[in-house]
């Protein structure tokens, strides 16, 4: 029985130690609620050929990871909410330098108003930062995602950082039965990191100045590498299953979507609630299903399109808001809508608000009744 | 250009780079390289003229591996590199080479953090007393009386005392370096590259473009700044043992000549006399800290 934070840190320690035959493990960390216990746990471990630097800010935490990673070490950090936003500049640098850093974000509302509870607005504000993003549904997924994140980040076809998102408190502080792994299994799953552009002794510049046309080439390469992540993830899933005897979730997880008239799309733990509502309402004869997006970047177009086959109504639940637009997930899902489809957005659960079954039922009722897509609807505000 | 290998290796900042003529930072790089010889280094350059001097992808003006860090993160990025070098028992020296903006201002928090943790890093600040590559705006290193593009009549506030701030961290070694005193400079470069733990060097680095001075006067300007007492040449061991390495003559003529060789003080309402008073005050503190330790 461990919390999401301890699951994440345990996985990071195992992954760090697995690179002892390579250039080791080095991490920069800084505390922030609700990710503090992850960094604390990491700081208190004995990691062979590893070191955790307790820095003076999140911005520096990621800078340490950048320096360590560019020197060929495996690197990991964790943060949340305003900490992630403060770190943002170096978050983007880690991606644009194509460094395989792994970070666990304990999703938290970005203040003010100050609020330590969960919200996807922090990591989604860095949607375009060039990181792969995985959203977890339970503690086991957090543990597994950290290991699989290193695997895809360090794959030479991908070579970029991965953000593993877990909802603050809901996962980070909740203990659940979690299967962890042996060091020998992790050693087998994570071969030593070999960074092709490692800074060693050859005179050259990493992160150089470049012309307009060259920066386009860099972005195109990065974009194409991101699109490789689907295949690399699938391979990693299979290998993970062989090594650990369980399979991490697909980029899109469907639940009772066959013959559905309406599906509810969500990320993170909200899907658990939605699945329960689906069971209840199916018992009452409603043909509804649930779709959970676990990999948000690269965005799983094909898997979602497949999940939406034969569906005429989609309700998208966002635990985030792009002000002046609507839910971020909704914006992405909407791009897949066929003409005539209703793709309605429901914003709920910001700043840790409970998204309860009755809220989901309210969304289902509205989505089944409406003739056209309307503006985003806030559900449960001020309750 | 095909240059012999030995020529390539003799330069850290190679010829043909984009720095202006008479750039103090270019001279500092040559003196640094000649002092440290073949000691392998990795450079971390935050946003500053030294980063611009690297040139465009895929070329590099530097004869060493370089990482261009974000403006605020030179010391923390170098921390990761130095820690991994230690974990792998590598004898490579990680050197941050930053301007005054990346040291006194935006880089202050990460610099202070790395100093407090006593990371194995040499942090060198070439101080041209302005934001140089953005065209010359004020920084907290700009001295009172000097104008900048965003403060035409000259700065009112005195220059931040970075050496006292750094010394307060109790790091093994900190020193100021005068480009006009090459023997002292070489000794400091050699000591600081070898010493373990956090080391800090401050180099007064005239910027002919920003200071509106003649490029041929760079060394002369440093000499005048040292003689007049404007730039104390000293070192601090373990944050407590202060030593004055070059005794100024506090010549009013040298101070007047220092001011007259640059056009950045032209519109200032601060007179050399007032600058003299500031120097007196500064030296009272320096003498108190140094006690009887003088290198002369």
Classify domain A4-198+207-244 at the CATH topology level: Rossmann fold (3.40.50)
Task: With a cut of 90, say whether residue B293 has pLDDT above it.
Answer: no
| Complex-level ipTM | 0.96
Q: What is the DSSP string of B174-191?
A: EEEE-TT-HHHHHHHHHH
Which residues in chain B are contacts of A75 at CB distance < 8 A? 80
Whether B80 sits inside 8 A of A90 (CB atoms) is no
Burial of residue A33, with CB atoms counted within 10 A of its CB: 0-12 exposed, 13-18 middle, 19 or more buried: middle
Residue A109's nearest CA partner among A175, A167, A192 is: A167
Instruction: Show the tokens assigned to B134.
Output: 């953005």
- Per-domain residue ranges for chain A? 4-198+207-244, 252-378
> For chain B, what is the mean pLDDT?
94
- For B36, the token pair is 């440290």
- The SS3 of residue B276 is helix
| Alpha-helical runs (H) found in chain B | 5-9, 24-36, 49-52, 74-87, 108-116, 162-167, 182-194, 208-211, 218-227, 252-260, 272-290
B41-45 β-sheet, strand order:
A205-206, B66-68, B41-45, B93-98, B122-127, B199-204, B173-177, B233-237, B241-246
Q: What is the reported pLDDT for B242?
A: 97
Reported as a single tens digit per residue, the pLDDT across B8-66 is 568 899 999 999 999 999 999 999 999 999 999 999 999 999 999 999 998 999 999 99
Residue in A with minimal Cα distance to B90: A200
pLDDT at B7: 53
Pull the structure tokens for residue A239: 């290998």
Residues A267-300 have pLDDT tens digits of: 999 999 999 999 999 999 999 999 999 999 999 9
Angle CA B246–B104–B224, to nearest 5: 30
Closest residue on chain A to B108 (Cα): A56
pLDDT tens for A319-347 read 999 999 999 999 999 999 888 999 999 99
Separation in Å, CA of B55 to nearest CA in chain A: 7
pLDDT tens digits, A1-47:
999 999 999 999 999 999 999 999 999 999 999 999 999 999 999 99
Average pLDDT of chain A, as a whole number? 97
CATH 3.40.50.180 holds for A252-378: no
DSSP structure string for B3-68 = --HHHHHT-SB-TT-SPPTT-HHHHHHHHHHHHHTT--EEEEE-SSHHHHTT-BTT--SBSS-EEE
d(CA A145, CA A151): 10
pLDDT at B241 over 60: yes
What mean pLDDT comes out for the span B243-267? 95
Residue A74 φ then ψ, to 5°:
-80, 140
Task: Tell me phi and psi for residue A29, to 5 degrees.
Answer: -135, 155
3-state secondary structure string across A284-328: CCCCEEEEEECEEECCCHHHHHHHCCCCCEEEEEECCCECCCECH
Give me the mean pLDDT over the B90-107 stretch. 97
pLDDT value at residue B1: 45
- A170-183 pLDDT, tens digit per residue, is 999 999 999 999 99
Provide the β-strand partners of residue A264. Answer: A290, A315
Sign of torsion over alpha carbons B39, B40, B45, B50: positive
First to last CA, chain B: 45
Contact A211 B56 (CB under 8 A): yes
- Say whether pLDDT at B106 is over 60: yes
Minimal C-alpha gap between B87 and chain A (Å): 6
Beta carbon pairs, A and B, within 8 Å: 156
CA distance B292 to B242: 9
CB A122 within 8 A of CB A110: yes
Confirm if A337 and A314 have CB atoms less than 8 A apart. Answer: yes
Give me the residue spans of the domains in chain B. 5-290
Tokens coding A190: 């994570």
Segment (H or E) for A242: helix A212-244
Query: Can you tell me whether residue A23 is helix, strand or coil?
Result: coil
Domain spanning B5-290, CATH architecture: 3-Layer(aba) Sandwich (3.40)
State the pLDDT at residue B228. Answer: 97
pLDDT at B102: 98
Check if B69 contacts A (Cβ < 8 Å).
yes
The terminus-to-terminus CA distance of chain A in angstroms comes to 32
């Amino acid at each position: 029985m461990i919390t999401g934070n301890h699951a994440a840190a345990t996985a990071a320690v195992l992954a760090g130690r697995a690179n002892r035959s390579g250039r080791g493990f080095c991490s920069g960390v800084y505390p922030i609620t609700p990710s503090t216990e992850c960094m604390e746990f990491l700081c208190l471990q004995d990691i062979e050929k590893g070191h955790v630097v307790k820095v003076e800010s999140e911005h520096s935490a990621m800078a340490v990871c950048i320096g360590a990673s560019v020197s060929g070490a495996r690197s990991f950090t964790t943060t949340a909410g305003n900490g992630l936003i403060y770190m943002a500049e170096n978050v983007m640098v880690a991606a644009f330098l194509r460094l395989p850093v792994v970070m666990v974000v304990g999703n938290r509302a970005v203040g003010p108003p100050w609020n330590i509870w969960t919200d996807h607005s922090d990591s989604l504000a860095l949607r375009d930062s060039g990181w792969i993003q995985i959203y977890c549904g339970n503690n086991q997924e957090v543990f597994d995602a950290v290991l699989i994140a290193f695997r895809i980040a360090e794959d030479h076809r991908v070579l970029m950082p991965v953000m593993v998102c877990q909802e603050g408190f809901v996962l980070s502080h909740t203990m659940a039965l979690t299967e962890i792994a042996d060091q020998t299994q992790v050693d087998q799953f994570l071969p030593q990191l070999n960074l092709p552009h490692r800074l060693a002794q050859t005179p050259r510049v990493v992160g150089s100045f470049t012309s307009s046309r060259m920066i386009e080439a860099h972005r195109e390469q990065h974009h194409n590498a991101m699109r490789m992540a689907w295949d690399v993830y699938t391979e990693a899933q299979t290998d993970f299953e062989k090594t650990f005897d369980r399979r991490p979730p697909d980029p899109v997880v469907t639940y009772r979507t066959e013959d559905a008239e309406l599906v509810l799309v969500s990320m993170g733990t909200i899907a658990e609630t939605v699945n329960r509502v689906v069971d209840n309402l199916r018992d009452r004869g409603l043909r509804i299903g649930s779709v959970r997006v676990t990999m948000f970047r690269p965005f799983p177009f094909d898997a979602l399109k497949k999940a939406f086959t034969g569906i005429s109504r989609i309700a998208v639940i966002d635990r985030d808001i792009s002000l002046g637009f609507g839910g971020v997930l909704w914006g992405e899902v909407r791009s897949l809508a066929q003409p005539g489809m209703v793709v309605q957005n429901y914003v709920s659960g910001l700043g840790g608000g409970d998204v309860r079954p009755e809220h989901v039922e309210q969304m289902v009722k509205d989505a089944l009744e409406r003739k056209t897509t309307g503006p985003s609807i806030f559900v449960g505000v001020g309750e | 250009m095909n240059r012999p290998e030995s020529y390539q290796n003799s330069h850290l900042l190679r010829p043909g780079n984009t720095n202006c003529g008479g750039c103090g930072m270019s001279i500092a790089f040559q003196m640094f390289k000649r002092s440290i010889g073949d000691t392998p280094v990795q450079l971390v350059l935050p946003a500053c003229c030294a980063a611009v001097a690297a040139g465009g992808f895929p070329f590099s003006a530097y004869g060493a591996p370089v990482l261009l860090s974000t403006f605020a993160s030179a010391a923390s990025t170098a921390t990761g590199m130095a820690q991994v070098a230690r974990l792998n028992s590598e004898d490579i020296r990680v050197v941050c080479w930053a301007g005054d903006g990346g040291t006194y201002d935006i880089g202050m928090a990460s610099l202070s953090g790395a100093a407090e943790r006593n990371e194995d890093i040499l942090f060198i600040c070439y101080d041209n007393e302005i934001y140089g590559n953005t065209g010359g705006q004020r920084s907290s290193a700009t001295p009172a009386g000097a104008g900048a593009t965003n403060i035409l009549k000259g700065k009112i506030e005195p220059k931040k005392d970075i050496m006292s701030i750094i010394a307060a961290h109790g790091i093994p070694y900190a020193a100021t370096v005068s480009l006009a005193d090459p023997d002292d400079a070489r000794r400091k470069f050699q000591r600081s590259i070898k010493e373990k733990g956090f080391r800090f060097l401050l180099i007064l680095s005239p910027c002919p473009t920003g200071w509106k001075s003649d490029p041929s006067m760079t060394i002369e300007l440093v000499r005048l700044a040292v003689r007049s007492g404007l730039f104390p040449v000293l070192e601090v061991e373990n944050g407590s043992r202060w030593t004055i390495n070059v005794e100024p003559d506090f010549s009013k003529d040298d101070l007047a000549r220092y001011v007259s060789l640059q056009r950045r003080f032209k519109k200032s309402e601060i007179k050399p006399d007032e600058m003299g008073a500031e120097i007196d005050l500064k030296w009272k503190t320096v003498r108190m800290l140094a006690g009887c330790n003088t290198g002369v």
